[in-house]
Structure 1
Amino acid sequence: MGVKISDSVTYVGKIDWELRRFHGEELSTHRGSSYNSYLIRDEKVALIDTAWIKFDKEYVKKLSEEIDLNKIDYVVALHGEIDHSGALPELMRHIPDKPIVCSANAVKSLKGHYHQDWNFQVVKTGDTLDLGSKKLIFIEAPMLHWPDSMMAYLTGEEILFSNDAFGQHYASESLFNDLVDQHELFEEALKYYANILAPFSARVVKKIEEVLALNLPVKMIAPSHGIIWRDNPLQIVNKYLEWAKDYKENQITIIYDTMWDGTRRMAEEIARGIKAADPEVTVKLYNCARSDNNDIVVEVFRSKAILAGSPTVNRNILYNLAGQLDLIKSLQFKGKKASAFGAYGWSGEGVKIITEILKEAGFEIVMEGIRELWNPDDEALKRCFEFGKNFAQAVK
């Protein structure tokens, strides 16, 4: 059975405790996730979103135990991605003529995924869906994080169904933000923002300001993944505004890959130099071949500056670092500084290659990178220590 979250709204989503990778294999989800779906009962009945396609039959079966499917008047699709809309084909087999309320772009994505010509009812920002004593007000949110994304506000209950915005990949039977571990919650919210929404930060600020300008009271924010914000729900809105404005903490993150430990030893000595010059700064080191790529992204997002290192191999850099930097580049972080380092044995192009990638990724290069020949000796490590000290001063 579903869980009532207000007088007229019942949670009918699916909690996925087993999920460990998302978007194919692109995103780690250490704490699982959920596919949130909401049933609104008024004079008319509206269902907001469904669940991932792998759970389609389970989802529809449980929904039918909650309500006679024929009593659903509207199916609202806030976003066409498979994790939100995947159970639609199974649901629409039972209620094929019911209208699917969505944005114009969602029609394209839903037709593209499922090749069905359902009864689409297109809405745009400001349009309303009259349910009787309450209304749904729609707010398009293109590129947060797909062109078809949309939010919906329920009058009377004062609930904002925010779709992917303000969500987390976080499985919990507790459902609400005041009932879960706060450290875990905000860790997952930040990871979600850094890995999914960061490229659209300018749009995040603009959309939040647009929604706030409507002066709609918000008692609850109900996203499509993770927990529902009911205790001080605007706290996550304020966090998004903070994260969206070139966010940085007093942190330097060193990411590297290494073959015979020369580049690792350089990284560790550079870190010692940084701390010697600036005891207050947080320094974190990650071998990206042995660390979770998405967790590293979070640390880079939090950092005011990064250092990236690799030995030179076949006139190139090691592919684990190359992949990590490519992921970082795609997320378009702003206002961060960087430099490069690495050991080499023959040709030594690695530092130059890393520097160029960092420039392309939008980082300000504050120092020429450092490279050391073969396995760094004591003199080389002293140079790395001094390099770390100088880098700390350059980014202070």
Structure 2
Amino acid sequence: MATRELKKGIYWVGAVDWDIREFHGPSYSTHQGTSYNAYLIVDEKITLVDIVDVHFVDVMIEHIKEVIDPEKIDYIIINHVEPDHSGGFPKLMALAPNARVFCSKNGKDAMEQHYFGDYQYEIVKTGDVLSLGQRSIQFIEAPMLHWPDSMFSYIEEEALLMPNDAFGQHYASSMLFDDENDMCTVMEEAKKYYANILMPFSPLVVKKIEEIIKMNFKIDMIAPSHGIVWRSHHEKIIEAYMKWGKGETHRKAIVVYETMWNSTERMARAIIEGLVSEGVDARLYRVSVSDVNDIIKEVLDAKALLVASSTINNTMIANMAYFLEELMGLKPRNKIGAAFGSYGWGKGAVVNIEKKLKEAGIQLVKEGLQIKYVPTEEALKACYEFGKDIGRMI
């Protein structure tokens, strides 16, 4: 994608990664690719906000050269040290050796532990203002959104917020702005991004947005470091973050299961029917053939999560354990749940699922339902009623 102008004298100079399909190692699926957004501000002081992954630094440098000589960069702002946003730093500094680098205190510590060189770091904190000439940048620390070093940069004269990983999406597009893209797709990717990255920090998300509102910032554009730039629907994404952060849910249930010889699957399908009979939006996922990150996206705004596995070696099937470990780390809010499953000569799956659901903060509302070997018609009716009961609770 060519360099794009966000506002007069402010340019997108990042890179689009069309091919990436896994992020944070294999822990996050990126079916839609991603982008690494960096923003060049041409003023009395030439300023670059955020950098890109090391594999795309040459693309960023070529984009900068379309506007100015990189040697003329005066200031570099590091809103977040994670390598997808700072990996190109050493190569850029070789071209702009006199640039001063602005970051939070935690940011400076992390940069020194990543890049080791003798750079001109300047620590900033919430409320500090950096004059660029005709414009100024105000800094807002945002620790644990989603690293300790994270911060936002705000240009009052342009009503432009650059929040790095907040409000982003892993989404590759040749069109930079929200209103140039399919908004259903963009919002789904934003939801997935929040669910799999920011959900553990939901109380901090709400607190930070409320803090910014109290600061009376006028915002008419949000330029995150992944995905599209919000210029027409910025209020929509802020509203969505507040809802997700507060743990607001819909009349919705997610049933996630794994099965060996289809007995647990038959139970799951009967339970789904019971949920649906109570007017619940119920969705069924077999964990071995579904994308875990996509499941977690749907869990975000569901009221209920039901988890099931056949018993093997006195516990659940291994890939269900992986899903639950992810869930425990993400700490979903305001959920009710239950466990169920089939077993042979010994139990174990249900009790271990219940333990992990509790550790994830999910309120168990029914005793786990366990059926030996193959469910009878009577047992399937019990599964149906199990689903109906939880549907009424929802």
TM-score normalised by L of structure 2 = 0.97
- Contact 2:153–2:162 under 8 Å retained in 1: yes
**Counterpart position of 1:196:** 197
Q: Alignment partner of 1:392: what SS?
A: helix
Q: Alignment partner of 2:283: what SS?
A: strand
**Counterpart position of 1:26:** 27
Equivalent AA in structure 1 for residue 39 of structure 2: Y
What's the RMSD between the two structures over aligned residues?
Answer: 1.2
Using the TM superposition, name which of 211-220 and 308-317 deviates more: 211-220
User: Are positions 1:161 and 2:145 aligned together?
Assistant: no
Spell out the pairing of 1:86-235 with structure 2 (5 A cutoff): 86-235=87-236
Spell out the pairing of 1:249-268 with structure 2 (5 A cutoff): 249-268=250-269
**Counterpart position of 2:8:** 7
Cα distance, 1:302 vs structure 2: 1.8
**Counterpart position of 1:376:** 375
Cα distance, 1:64 vs structure 2: 2.8
Structure 2: gaps (5+ residues): none
Q: Alignment partner of 1:5: what SS?
A: strand
Cα distance, 1:97 vs structure 2: 3.0
CA distance in 2, matches of 1:382, 1:218: 54
Equivalent AA in structure 2 for residue 293 of structure 1: V
> Residues 223-260 of structure 1: CA distance to partner in whole angstroms, max 9, x if unpaired?
11111111142221111111111221110110011111
CA distance in 2, matches of 1:388, 1:133: 62
Equivalent AA in structure 2 for residue 301 of structure 1: L
CA distance in 1, matches of 2:24, 2:283: 27
CA distance in 1, matches of 2:235, 2:255: 34
User: Are positions 1:17 and 2:25 aligned together?
Assistant: no
Instruction: Give the aligned length.
Output: 393
User: Are positions 1:299 and 2:302 aligned together?
Assistant: no
User: Are positions 1:45 and 2:46 aligned together?
Assistant: yes
Cα distance, 1:63 vs structure 2: 2.2
CA distance in 1, matches of 2:304, 2:47: 47
CA distance in 1, matches of 2:346, 2:44: 74
CA distance in 1, matches of 2:55, 2:213: 36
Cα distance, 1:380 vs structure 2: 2.0
Change (3 A) 1:267 1:249: same
Q: Alignment partner of 1:184: what SS?
A: helix
Q: Alignment partner of 2:44: what SS?
A: coil
User: Are positions 1:323 and 2:322 aligned together?
Assistant: yes
CA distance in 1, matches of 2:56, 2:389: 54
CA distance in 2, matches of 1:195, 1:51: 21
> Residues 179-209 of structure 1: CA distance to partner in whole angstroms, max 9, x if unpaired?
1101001101111111111111111111111
Cα distance, 1:72 vs structure 2: 0.7
Change (3 A) 1:182 1:232: closer
Equivalent AA in structure 2 for residue 383 of structure 1: A
Structure 1: gaps (5+ residues): none
CA distance in 2, matches of 1:65, 1:219: 26
CA distance in 2, matches of 1:317, 1:155: 54
CA distance in 1, matches of 2:376, 2:72: 76
**Counterpart position of 2:340:** 341
- Contact 1:159–1:222 under 8 Å retained in 2: yes
CA distance in 1, matches of 2:274, 2:391: 8
- Contact 1:9–1:41 under 8 Å retained in 2: yes
**Counterpart position of 2:78:** 77
- Contact 1:141–1:150 under 8 Å retained in 2: yes
- Contact 1:60–1:87 under 8 Å retained in 2: no
CA distance in 2, matches of 1:114, 1:263: 51
CA distance in 1, matches of 2:288, 2:110: 35
**Counterpart position of 2:64:** 63
Q: Alignment partner of 1:189: what SS?
A: helix
- Contact 1:136–1:154 under 8 Å retained in 2: yes
Equivalent AA in structure 2 for residue 203 of structure 1: L
- Contact 2:308–2:350 under 8 Å retained in 1: yes
CA distance in 1, matches of 2:25, 2:82: 13
